[in-house]
Amino acid sequence: MIDLSTISGLPIKYDDEKGKVIYGDGVNCGDEVYVPLDDITPILLNKYLKYPENVYRYHKNIKLNDSSTGDNISYDIVYIPYGLLGIEFIKTHVYHSDCCPGKYDCIVEILSGSLTVMIQKNREKEDPYEFETYVDEMSIITLRKGERLVIPTGVYYTFINTSIVPVIFSRLTSTSKVPIDYATLRREKGLAYFLISKNAKIEVVANPKYKIECQVNYLSSKKILNEDNSYNNEILRKSSNPLFNMFSAGDLMDMIFW
């Protein structure tokens, strides 16, 4: 049993034998949502997989029973097992929001394990009938236990477990946040890159359906903190307070786009 309370700010533990997050008294976590393989097949490299039946799972809109947090922002806990989907590392849905200056689409905090985040910014199409999709920015970010990341609006992103242990992370985002409509990626069939396992190593493979006019920007939490970029935020950088505690206090409400 691994205690996650210090990092999360909640009375929760991870049962590593059963692969389950255990919530203590006073936590209102609702039902656990399982994401089936069929739901994310449109964005996978291999469209013909039959296993596993469920890819990952999460609890949405977690609160303390005596909490009075707002109705627009959701604190979620996401669990991604380790393993592969064919040769591709297990990943979540793809998310996106319209660009809103000064707002973030999502804030994450790693509770256990390590997480890879792929973030892609496409060039705006001047012509709605333009066939090609151009990629202007692509970042692959590695986060470890206790580290945080803010994800700006106006980008596409997904969470990936490239390690050999499960990853558990919290996510602060709009209560109305849902995966993108994969009909919008019908031609591209996923993001601009896939992370695969080749000869027991991680390999980044380009999606030929995109016109990629940038280099992949590989980042770590330390590098983000030392650079001026859209993944940095002064409030989070200076605070050691768990994300949930900041959320409960209302400190982050104005940062999230909803």
> What DSSP line would sit under 100-160, residue for residue?
-TT-EEEEEEEEESEEEEEEEEEPPPSSTT---EEEEEEEEEEEETT-EEEEESS-EEEEE
CA distance 108 to 139: 16
84: exposed, middle or buried (C-beta count within 10 Å: 0-12, 13-18, 19+)?
middle
pTM: 0.94
Residue 15 maps to a domain: no
pLDDT at 68 over 70: no
Q: What is the pLDDT of residues 96-146, one digit of tens each?
A: 999 888 899 999 999 999 999 999 999 987 777 778 899 999 999 999 999
Count the domains in the chain: 1
Whether 24 contacts 12, CB under 8 Å: yes
Residue 85 maps to a domain: yes
CA distance 77 to 13: 12
Range of 171's domain? 27-236
Q: What is the pLDDT of residues 168-186, one digit of tens each?
A: 999 999 998 899 999 989 8
Residue 229 maps to a domain: yes
Residue 258 maps to a domain: no
Among 104, 142, 97, residue whose Cα is nearest residue 235 = 104
Instruction: Please give the pLDDT value at position 65.
Output: 81
The alpha carbon torsion through 23, 74, 192, 233 (nearest 10 deg) reads -100
Instruction: Please give the pLDDT value at position 69.
Output: 65
pLDDT at 235 over 80: no
Residue 64 maps to a domain: yes
Among 41, 24, 20, residue whose Cα is nearest residue 32 = 20
Instruction: Please give the pLDDT value at position 192.
Output: 96
Q: Which residue has the higher pLDDT, 68 or 78?
A: 78
Residue 164 maps to a domain: yes
What value does the mean pLDDT take over residues 41-63? 94
Buried b (16+ CB within 10 A) or exposed e, 170-186: bbbbeeebebeebeebe
Instruction: Please give the pLDDT value at position 14.
Output: 93
Residue 155, token pair as written in the block? 């980008």
Residue with tokens 């256990």: 112
Residue 156 maps to a domain: yes
Instruction: Please give the pLDDT value at position 163.
Output: 95
Helix (H) or strand (E) holding 243: helix 243-248
Among 2, 1, 15, 88, residue whose Cα is nearest residue 46 = 88
CATH number for the domain harbouring residue 107: 2.60.120.10
Q: Which residue has the higher pLDDT, 250 or 34?
A: 34
Phi-psi sector, 9: left (phi>0), alpha (psi -120 to 50), beta = left
Residue 47 maps to a domain: yes
